[in-house]
């Protein structure tokens, strides 16, 4: 089998940032852009816990699907299996810089969220007690303060050359 493109990214050089992971065209002709929202440095920083990512997933998905400007373009928000970040899929041919304001809003929402996590009930979620709101808030705050506030934020994958 061929190695898929995401496994060709040099994770030893990958920093926190927002990257275009792929662009796809649906059979109907719609362009979809998948973003790699990399919140920790792979294999160098402590990954996020699955409970933190699950809480973040509920909060981000709820926020994004209610955000007036972008709601109709949101396809998916979900955690990476390696627990170093999340994927965001949006309709359209987009660049990382174009979604910076949306990511700042989303992460500020998560960082400041208080109360019951949307959809975190036995009726609404298949593993509703498996959430860490404090961890989600802390991870979002760190991402805002240390990554999104950086004027030299990483928006392009590192080259495969050392």
For the stretch 53-83, pLDDT in tens is: 999 999 999 999 999 999 999 999 999 999 9
Residue 162 predicted with pLDDT over 60: no
Residue 102: strand pairing partners: none
Residue 146 predicted with pLDDT over 60: yes
Q: Is 60 helix (H, G, I), strand (E, B) or coil?
A: helix
**With b meaning 16 or more CB within 10 Å and e meaning fewer, what string describes 96-135?**
beebeebbeebbebbbebeeebeebeeeebeeeeebbbeb
All structural domains of the chain: 12-148 (3.30.1360.80)
Residue 151 predicted with pLDDT over 90: no
- Please give the average per-residue pLDDT across 13-37, as a whole number: 96
More confident: 45 or 8:
45
């Amino acid at each position: 089998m061929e190695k898929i493109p995401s496994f060709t990214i040099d994770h030893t050089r990958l920093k926190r940032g927002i990257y275009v992971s792929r662009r796809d065209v649906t059979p109907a002709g719609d362009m979809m852009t998948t973003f790699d929202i990399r919140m920790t440095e792979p294999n160098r920083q402590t990954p996020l816990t699955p409970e933190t990512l699950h809480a973040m997933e509920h909060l981000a998905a709820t926020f994004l699907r209610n955000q007036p400007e972008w709601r109709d373009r949101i396809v998916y928000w979900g955690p990476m299996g390696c627990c170093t970040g999340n994927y965001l899929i949006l309709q359209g041919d987009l660049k990382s810089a174009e979604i910076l304001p949306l990511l700042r809003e989303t992460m500020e929402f998560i960082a400041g969220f208080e109360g019951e996590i949307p959809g975190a009930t036995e009726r609404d979620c298949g593993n509703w007690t498996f959430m860490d709101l404090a961890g989600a808030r802390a991870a979002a705050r760190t991402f805002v303060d240390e990554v999104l506030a950086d004027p030299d934020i990483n928006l392009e994958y590192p080259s495969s050359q050392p």
